[in-house]
Chains A and B, each alone.
Chain A
Amino acid sequence: MKEMSVVKKSIITAVCLALCVVLPQAFHAVPNAGSVYLPMHIPILLCGLICGWQYGLLAGIAGPALSTLFTGMPPVAVLPAMLVECAVYGLMSGLMMKLIRTRKTYLDLYISLIVAMLAGRIVAGIARALIFARGSTTIATWTTGYFVTSLPGIIIQLVLLPSIVFALMNAGLIPRRYPKSAGLRL
């Protein structure tokens, strides 16, 4: 399988958006789901990693919005900051995958993910302080818990996302990043 078509990337993005709404609901069965696993971030990061920064960006903006619209979570008050954070996730994961080529897929994934997740949190933090300063104290008191459990979340995503990517590659649903070609080693 070569590069994915625009149609395929678009539909993958659509599916990731749907999962932004569906996944948090599925995690209801898991205790502490919301703050630890951050289920909504998974499809967004994945979209950026697989389809590129434009699609990742769209996923990051539309994902949380759809989730709030259809399930009420994340709550509207938190949505603006969440939009910024997720937009950066989608954008950066896509950008980094474009820029980093270590010849080892899992390394590319780890680096892109770490950069994206840190960048997202930093930018969102700045945005909260400057733009969403109104009521930032209340959001801050709520997100204190969020940041404390943030590190485990990052580690979990680092384990989950590459596993998902490799499963998809093994199933032939997305192209391999470095095709195992028998001949030329470019």
Chain B
Amino acid sequence: MHRLPTGMYLPGDSVIHRLDSRIKLLALFIVVVSILFINSLIGYEIMVVFMAVAVFLSGISLKVALNSVRKLSWFFLLIFLMNTLFYSTENAWFSFWKVTPSPAGLMQGLEVVLRVALALIASNIMTSTTAPMEITNAIESLISPLKLIGIPTGQIAMILSIAIQFIPTLSEETDTIRKAQMARGARFDSTKMTEKAEAVMPLVVPIFLAAFKRADELSIAMEARGYRGASGRTRKKFDPLKYQDMSALAVVIAICAVLLIIRLKT
């Protein structure tokens, strides 16, 4: 991989790095849901300022934080254009077949782009300040109440943590396979419908074979060590929440409550 994967964990010692990962996960969820509710200028302003502060507190440079947004710029452009051109027919500047660019469409386009960008930055703050294992521990902790209705949370958490650990390995393997096939003369770009599936087989089949081979090896290793299932598995013991965690959560809830009120009033 030549491009740095966005949202990768960057070790650090900032305020946000030190927060309890469960709080961060909860906060992320609350923030993202509220972002989807904003529909007023002042609401967006509040959220943008909040995000800017959060980025500052996380110790991540602004450049890195905006990097992921920049990477999706083609997607944002597409959404923006589609909304501008197709969203509404009122006050259209001109009309051509189904294409009706309108101010309402423009606004809608901007809003959607802004929402996704904000959510992306929020989720990046989370993944950059929290090690993947911490994220899985937090998920396991937060879903553990579901055990009461028979959902195997321990097993789910195990699957998630193994999945996360496999991501870099499989990513590299995939890269090698892609390069090897390209060096062999594979061409993944073909326009004929019937050839599209064929074109991509040299990439897809080996990737799955390699991935499943690893799965096979790991499961044999685990069973050989007496692993029978996730019940009784040692879970991470979280330190009790500190006042920083509680106050951070309180701040997030407060801001989102404010946004909700603004939303309800408009």
Known: A164-B208, A168-B209, A168-B212. A7 touches B223 (CB 8 A): yes
| A10, B193: Cα distance in complex, Å | 35
- Chain B residues 1-55 with CB under 8 Å of chain A are 1, 5-7, 32, 35-36
Q: Classify the secondary structure of A's interface with B.
A: helix
Is B201 a contact of A163 with CB atoms below 8 Å? yes
> B241 at the A/B interface (Cβ < 8 Å)?
no
Report the bound CA distance from A159 to B200 in whole Å: 11
Residue B258 at the chain A interface, CB threshold 8 Å: no
Q: CB within 8 Å of B: which of A33-54?
A: 36-37, 42-43, 46
Which residues in A have some Cβ–Cβ distance to B below 8 Å? 5-8, 10-15, 17-19, 21-23, 25-27, 29-31, 36-37, 42-43, 46, 58, 62, 66, 68-73, 75-77, 134-135, 137-138, 141-142, 152, 155-156, 159-160, 163-164, 167-168, 171, 173-174
Pick the contact of B218 from A5, A11, A75, A142 — CB < 8 Å?
A11
Chain B: residues with CB nearer than 8 A to chain A? 1, 5-7, 32, 35-36, 68, 71-72, 75, 78-79, 82-83, 86-87, 108, 112, 115-116, 119-120, 123-124, 126-127, 135, 155-156, 158-160, 162-164, 166-167, 170-171, 174-175, 178, 182, 188-189, 193, 196-201, 203-205, 207-209, 211-216, 218-219, 222-223, 227-230
| Nearest B-chain residue to A26, judged by Cβ | B174
A73 touches B72 (CB 8 A): yes
